[in-house]
Structures are given as structure tokens and as C-alpha cells.
């Protein structure tokens, strides 16, 4: 006798198990893909951070190397050429500033109200080196030195102002000569100019010395 067919409880369960395994496989594949994507993103971020760090370090290094270095175009040099050494001394002159220079120097002696008295006179012009115009109203600084046979006997400070024509006159008076003892004669006077000062003027020359010798008749005024 044939037993009638009935629904077996095992059929639906087998289908549920298959569906569960399929879902688990799908979830596993998704996790693997997610992990791969995260890995790629992390690697990309690390590479970007490293690139930005390297570029920033390179830029800072370039700026540090450029500090104090003249620009190639400003220095008048072609790329790859070395910078010429600076001059030993540089005088910076502002616009409108006169560069005083000494011209037309005369150094002579003259009688000073007595046969045994004489004076030494120094005259010169202060002229603007750039324009040739007289430098007016500035002060000449220096020193007058008096000599006898034995050597230097005295010094006097000099502080004289140039006149409206830029002329400067400096004198040393009350000098003696023709004494019975020549060792007492004031035989020579030197003028040492050290500086020229005033508004809107500069003087960059080294100290210069001019001399008057009483024994030299040719230097009489």
C-alpha cells in the first residue's frame, strides 16, 4: 500500500541553510572589499602627507638659503655666476647730500707785526664733488701742529666754518723766528684736516696734511 505524500519538514530548512551560507559569503566578500578600500585610502593619505611635508621642508630650506643673498637680476649677474666681492669701504650718500672735497689749497707764511713774528696761513675751497658748487656753512675740523728743531712743540684744535664762497681760512699766529738761539724758532706749522661736518654734507676722505715751512722763502704769502 503506497503511503500518501506529505510535506517534509526538512525541505524548507535546507533552503534556509543555503540562503544563510550565501549571505555569509556575501558579507565576507564585502568585508574584504572594504578592507582593501580602506588600505588604499590610508596609503593615499600617507603619500599625500609625505609629499606636503617634503615640499614644505624644501620651500623653507630655499627661503633660508636666500636670506641675505642678492637677487641675480638686482646684482646684474647671469645665473651661475659668482657675486663680486664688495668694495673695501662704501659711503652711502642720500639724495641732495653734498660730497665735500678740498681744492685750491694755498699754504704760506707772512709777517705778524714784528720782525721776529710770523703766521702760517692755510686757505682752500670746499666744493661739491658732484656738482662743482661751493659747500657753504659747514665746519672743518682738524689740528694745527707747531714744530721747532727739536720736534713737535704744540697742537691746537681747528674748528672753522666755510664762508659764502665755500672758502676756508685757517691761521696760526704769534710764531717766532730769527731768535739768537735757532732752537727756539717756530720753524714749521702743519694743518691736519680730519673731517667736514654739517647738514646735508658728507666727507669721506682720509686725514690730509698741509705744511708751511718758515725757512722756505718760496712759501711766503
Closest CA to 117 of 171, 176, 172, 173: 176
Among 80, 102, 112, which Cα is nearest to 178's?
A: 112
Q: What is the pTM of this model?
A: 0.56
Q: How far is 52 from 59, CA to CA, in rounded Å?
A: 11
Show me where the domains of the chain are located.
13-77, 98-219
- Residue 152 exposed, middle or buried by CB count within 10 Å (0-12, 13-18, 19+): exposed
Pairing of strands 98-111, 117-128: antiparallel
Give the three cell numbers for residue 209.
696734511
Distance CA 72, CA 87 (A): 19
98-219 classified as CATH 3.40.50.150: no
Q: What are the C-alpha distances in Å from 68 to residues 8, 63, 65, 80, 196?
A: 94, 10, 8, 17, 33
pLDDT tens, N- to C-terminus, the chain (221 residues): 555 544 444 555 555 555 566 656 666 667 777 778 888 888 888 877 777 777 766 665 666 566 555 554 544 444 554 555 555 444 444 556 889 999 999 999 988 776 688 999 999 999 999 999 999 999 999 999 999 989 999 999 999 999 999 999 999 988 988 888 988 999 999 999 999 999 889 998 889 999 999 877 667 88
Sheet with strand 188-197: strands edge to edge? 151-161, 139-148, 188-197, 208-213
40: left (phi over 0), alpha (psi -120 to 50) or beta: alpha
> Do residues 100 and 201 lie in contact, with contact meaning Cβ atoms separated by under 8 Å?
yes
Amino acid at each position: 500500500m503506497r503511503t500518501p505524500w506529505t510535506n517534509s519538514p526538512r525541505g524548507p530548512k535546507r533552503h534556509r541553510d543555503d540562503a544563510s551560507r550565501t549571505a555569509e559569503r556575501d558579507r565576507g566578500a564585502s568585508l574584504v572589499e572594504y578592507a582593501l578600500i580602506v588600505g588604499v585610502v590610508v596609503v593615499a593619505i600617507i603619500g599625500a602627507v609625505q609629499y606636503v611635508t617634503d615640499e614644505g621642508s624644501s620651500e623653507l630650506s630655499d627661503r633660508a638659503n636666500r636670506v641675505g643673498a642678492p637677487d641675480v637680476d638686482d646684482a646684474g649677474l647671469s645665473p651661475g655666476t659668482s657675486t663680486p666681492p664688495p668694495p673695501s669701504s662704501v659711503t652711502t650718500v642720500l639724495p641732495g647730500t653734498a660730497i665735500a672735497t678740498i681744492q685750491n689749497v694755498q699754504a704760506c707764511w707772512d709777517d705778524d707785526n714784528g720782525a721776529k713774528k710770523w703766521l702760517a696761513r692755510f686757505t682752500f675751497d670746499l666744493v661739491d664733488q658732484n656738482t662743482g658748487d661751493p659747500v657753504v656753512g659747514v665746519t672743518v675740523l682738524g689740528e694745527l701742529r707747531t714744530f721747532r728743531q727739536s720736534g713737535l712743540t704744540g697742537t691746537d684744535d681747528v674748528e672753522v666754518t666755510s664762508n659764502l664762497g665755500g672758502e676756508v681760512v685757517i691761521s696760526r699766529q704769534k710764531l717766532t723766528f730769527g731768535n739768537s738761539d735757532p732752537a727756539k724758532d717756530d720753524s714749521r706749522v702743519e694743518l691736519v684736516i680730519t673731517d667736514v661736518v654739517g647738514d646735508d654734507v658728507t666727507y669721506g676722505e682720509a686725514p690730509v696734511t698741509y705744511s708751511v715751512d718758515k725757512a722756505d722763502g718760496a712759501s711766503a704769502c
